[in-house]
Amino acid sequence: MNSHYTNGQDNIRAWLIAALLMLAGAAAGTRVGPALQWLQTVVIQGENTAETELRGERVHRIAGLTGGQAQVSSRGVADTLLQAAVGEIRRIEEETARNEEQKRREAMAADWRLLLVNKEHPLPEDYEVRVTYTELGYQIDERCVDELEQMLQDCRKAGHDPKICSAYRDRQYQINLFNNSIWNYQSRGYSYEEARALTAEEVAVPGTSEHELGLAVDLVSYANQRLNEEQENTGAQKWLMENSWKYGWILRYPTAKKDITGIIYEPWHYRYVGREYAREIYEKGLCLEEFLAQ
């Protein structure tokens, strides 16, 4: 390989480029650090060991990166250094973004606040719920009770009348609820299969209810305690639908998401996911299934 490195001016140019890249790196944060370190090493070692094997090898490597120029002037070295450094910075940025995305996904998968419970994702058999008492003798996961009570308090301060009408349910309670609904439909003349299918649209099959998870609560207005779509017109519900995310709660079964959640519109069922996730879900207009799949 024939190379020559002569011109002092060109060396200064290489240094200037390195300095500019360092400034750019400082402006862009720490993510380009390794690339700049690499560039500096190349330039410094190239300077200090001119005509040495090491320099030859570096130039060879850089030339290889840019299409294998055999003849490299020091101006060429400066240019190829710049190109290689930019490429390296881009590669590191992409790798960092991939790693961050991977970390985000792992953190979400391990986060109890995002545990998905629905028809396809039953509650894990060994799931242990630690509940505590809240208003009216209802129970809720002790990790979200403060934010629930704060939300209800602020809703009342705003002049509304929210009331808990269901919170944590143990498995037996959910079984009873499910069977009662089937009997109800049967008593109105439906076959067992029909009654069960209709029930499954309204009541979670035991083992697939968020209420068993301890992170769900049904909230109504004292003035209207019926669980129907009219609920969304009460002042309490309007306030909750607009503000619950600030306390880490999301309206879990919005009207537009029925096909995805598999549950009818329930403008009373709230699920705790924590404040940062609730904010993102609310702002993006997603349901939990969509949020977890994005």
The contact set with Zn ion (CB under 5 A) reads: 218, 269
How many Cα atoms are found within 13 Å in the side-chain-facing hemisphere of 218?
A: 18
Q: How far is the CB of 152 from Zn ion (least distance, A)?
A: 16
Q: How far is the CB of 117 from Zn ion (least distance, A)?
A: 12
Q: Which residues contact 146 (CB under 8 A, 6 or more apart)?
A: none
Burial label, 109 (beta-carbon count in 10 A; 0-12, 13-18, 19+): exposed
Q: How far is the CB of 216 from Zn ion (least distance, A)?
A: 5
Is 95 annotated in the active site? Answer: no
- Reported as type and span, the H/E element at residue 133 is strand 131-133
Q: Which residue is nearest to Zn ion (CB)?
A: 269
Q: Out of 135, 230, 266, 276, pick the active-site residue.
A: 266
Three-state SS sequence of 48-94: HCCCCHHHHHHHHHHHHHCCCCCCECHHHHHHHHHHHHHHHHHHHHH
* Cα–Cα distance for residue pair 223/195, rounded to 1 Å: 30
Q: How far is the CB of 274 from Zn ion (least distance, A)?
A: 19
Between 17 and 165, CB nearer to Zn ion = 165
Between 106 and 201, CB nearer to Zn ion = 201
Calculate Rg over the CA atoms of the chain: 31
Q: How far is the CB of 209 from Zn ion (least distance, A)?
A: 8
Residue 283: name the closest of 250, 247, 237, 235 by CA: 250
Q: Which three-class secondary structure state does DSSP give residue 231? A: helix
Q: Which residues contact 157 (CB under 8 A, 6 or more apart)?
A: none
Which residue is associated with the tokens 């790693």?
99
- Reported as type and span, the H/E element at residue 28 is helix 8-28
Catalytic residues: 266
